[in-house]
Amino acid sequence: MSEIKITGYKCKACGRVHYPKHEQCLTCKGRDFEPLTPDGNARLLAYTQIFNLPWGFDERFLIIGVGEFENGIKAMGQIKADSLDKIKTGMELKPSWEPVRHQYGEPVYGLKFKPLE
């Protein structure tokens, strides 16, 4: 696993965490942010299954979800699972940064989650 290559932004005025970055805080309208990197595991907030995939994916379907990291960053990624049977909201996920598909023969990297339960 390599380093997770996303950056969240914490408002210095009110502490709200944003990902991706906004020009101003969605809560207090502040414009001064501190960069954050994802910390620890994530908790699954929501998920779905996609069957109509764009070009470049070899899978028949994908399970994607929104995970919240321990420091408040929320991000979407693929969930490494064969079906929805063992996926449930609130479960703990281990994040990784790895190829999610290939484009023009080159790997495209993204966020993936592995269920820990």
pLDDT category of residue 2 using cuts at 50, 70 and 90? low
Name residues whose C-beta falls within 8 Å of residue 55's C-beta, 6 or more positions apart in sequence: none
> Which position has the token pair 């993936």?
112
Q: How far apart are CA 73 and CA 20, in angstroms?
A: 9
pLDDT digit string, tens, across residues 8-38: 999 999 999 999 999 999 999 999 999 999 9
Residue 53 pLDDT: 87
Confidence of residue 105 (pLDDT cuts 50, 70, 90): confident
For the segment 41-66, what is each residue's pLDDT rounded down to a tens digit? 999 999 999 999 887 777 889 999 99
| Host H or E run for residue 65 | strand 62-69
Answer yes or no: is pLDDT of 1 > 60. Answer: no
User: Is residue 68's pLDDT more than 80?
Assistant: yes
Q: Name the residue ranges covered by the structural domains of the chain.
A: 38-115
What CATH number should be reported for the domain whose range is 38-115? 2.40.50
Burial-class residue 47 by CB neighbours within 10 Å (0-12, 13-18, 19+).
buried
Residue 55 pLDDT? 75
